[in-house]
A and B are shown apart, each in its own frame.
Chain A
Amino acid sequence: MSPRAACRLETVGFAEVYDYVPGKVDWLAHNLPIEGENADVPKAGRVARNDVARCALTDRVGEVRERIARSPYRFALVTTPGGVLLGRLRRSALDCDPNLSAEEVMESGPSTVRPDTPAAELAKRLADRELRWAIVTNPEGRLVGVASREDLERA
């Protein structure tokens, strides 16, 4: 739709016309502000907290275990230096050689949700599956944070 609109504007004399190809869904999924009737509907991206323990692929399990102990969660998330989510390390999986690397024990590709997922909808999905947290990433796979069911229900 937008390519046709952009061409139409050119035909009526506009010299500098651009088409934001990924569209509104991309803007919403990046947790960016919106206007309109739904602007105040709580979303996962606004509820998510950035307090989860993070680590790199090469970090040692022993160090990660300590970071998890200091965090509110039972897991750590493995990311690239640019923040792209690669995996999850559950605390229960870290009772092993502390010199192993995160890469050797992580679960690859944990499930994630987009920041524009409505909080109430996500809270219900988590409750239905008896889950406590959802990992929120943007369309490039960068970690936004972790949304707890409790926070989502309160939002």
Chain B
Amino acid sequence: MPTGIALDGLQKLIAGGAQLVEVLPEGEYVEAHLPAAINIPLKQLTVQTAGVLDRERPVVVYCWDSL
């Protein structure tokens, strides 16, 4: 089960080299995203598209809010 984190946890993970993935549609990502985040929209998340991520490093996903 993935671990839910808040801002302080996110900042620690980023400092430790975690990868950030925004799962919102491309248009929202283009407007604004967290520094160094890549975009894999949820509808396009597959083994192939996830292949750009390093399996040896933590991955943090996010969308717009908690709803």
A-contacting residues of B (Cβ < 8 Å)?
A: 1-7, 9-10, 13, 18, 21-24, 29-37, 40, 42, 45-47, 50, 53, 55, 57-66
Given contacts A14-B50, A16-B59, contact A21 B5 (CB under 8 A): yes
Interface pair B55/A13, CB less than 8 Å apart: yes
Chain B contacts for A30, CB-based, 8 A = 7
Interface of A is mostly: mixed
Residues 17 to 32 of chain A near chain B (Cβ within 8 Å) = 17-28, 30, 32
The reply to whether A22 and B65 form a contact with Cβ atoms under 8 Å apart is: yes
26 A-B pairs with CB atoms under 8 Å apart are A1-B63, A1-B64, A2-B63, A3-B2, A8-B42, A9-B61, A10-B1, A14-B53, A18-B4, A18-B18, A19-B60, A20-B6, A21-B6, A21-B66, A22-B7, A23-B66, A26-B6, A26-B7, A27-B10, A33-B35, A34-B34, A34-B35, A35-B37, A37-B30, A37-B32, A38-B32
The answer for the CA separation of A23 and B62 in the assembled complex, in Å, is 5
Contact surface of A with B, Cβ cutoff 8 Å: 1-10, 12-28, 30, 32-39
Tell me the bound Cα distance from A124 to B51 in angstroms.
46
Chain A residue numbers with a CB within 8 Å of B63 are 1-2, 5, 23-24
Q: Give Cα A13 to B48, complex, Å.
A: 12
B31 and A37 form a contact (CB under 8 A): yes
* 4 A-B pairs with the lowest CB-CB distances in the bound complex, closest first: A6-B2, A20-B62, A1-B63, A5-B23
B62 to chain A: which residues have CB within 8 Å? 2, 19-20, 23-24, 27
